[in-house]
Amino acid sequence: MIVLLYVWQAVLVLLVLVLAVVLVALARQIGVLHERLAPLGDQEVKPGLDVGQVVPRLILHTLDGAPFTVGDVLPAGRRQLLLFVAAECPVCKRVSPIARQIAAERGLDLVFVGDGPEPELKAMQQARPEMQGVPLVTGVELALVLQINRMPSVVLLDERGTILAKKLVNTRRQIEGVLDGVASTHPAAPADTGANAHVAF
């Protein structure tokens, strides 16, 4: 009888420990979701490098391990549109095809910058047709430099890596508003119509 009592107490202690671990993990996940799903509206991204500053040359990597450089000099007149996305972000999945369409219409070099574990990013890339043929890089360093902590966010760079715009977006109107605002203050130089005049697929 005493042995059974000790066994029962050990089981109860083990259950309490497991429950505590589960509660800690759940609290952490709720915190992450709270950050991700906070009202998007027209909020600005928190400060980091801001409009008018130059992004340092960073060598990132695509999901297959190939190096991909951000901050390199582009051909004259080219602009690079960075869209920061996360696999668990439902708004990102809605915005990514819109961003690809707008980038194609406006002759921008689109790059998806992924946040989160690589297996989840790979699964997202394979499941999303708009992500096929467009660079998807893991961008922890870039997100830290720019202080991107909410998604989806867009950053528009000119050919020298200067930030022309940086904003949290969740609709076509917001993306187009960002780009139209840049066009009115920083008109693009005539783009090269040769082999480089295409969206980066």
**1 to each of 6, 8, 11, 13, how far by Cα in Å?**
9, 10, 15, 18
Number of domains in the chain: 2
Residue 129 located in a structural domain = yes
Domain with residue 121: its CATH number is 3.40.30.10
Same domain, 32 and 63: no
Residue where the block lists tokens 């869209």: 83
Same domain assignment for residues 2 and 83: no
Are 14 and 91 part of one and the same domain? Answer: no
Place of tokens 């930030």: 163
pTM passes above 0.85? no
Task: Please indicate, yes or no, if residue 197 is contained in any of the structural domains.
Answer: no
C-alpha 74/C-alpha 65 separation (Å) is 22
In tens, the pLDDT along 178-190 reads: 999 987 776 665 4
Does residue 42 lie within any of the structural domains? Answer: no
Tell me: the pLDDT tens digits for 90-141?
Answer: 999 999 999 999 999 999 999 999 998 999 999 999 999 999 999 999 978 8
Residue 23 pLDDT exceeds 80: no
Domain assignment present for 50: no
In this structure, the answer to whether residues 127 and 174 fall within a common structural domain is: yes
**Domain extent for 140:** 58-185
Judge if 29 and 110 occupy the same domain. Answer: no
The pLDDT of residue 33 is 54
Q: Are residues 101 and 14 in the same domain?
A: no
Picking from 114, 63, 64, the residue whose alpha carbon sits closest to that of residue 86 is 114
**pLDDT digits 0-9 by tens, 155-199:** 999 999 999 999 999 999 999 999 999 877 766 654 443 433 333
Reduce the DSSP state of residue 117 to 3 states and report it. Answer: coil
83 with 148, same domain: the answer is yes
**Residue 116 shares a structural domain with residue 62:** yes
Query: Are 19 and 118 in the same domain?
Result: no
pLDDT higher than 80, residue 36: no
Q: Is residue 41 part of a domain?
A: no
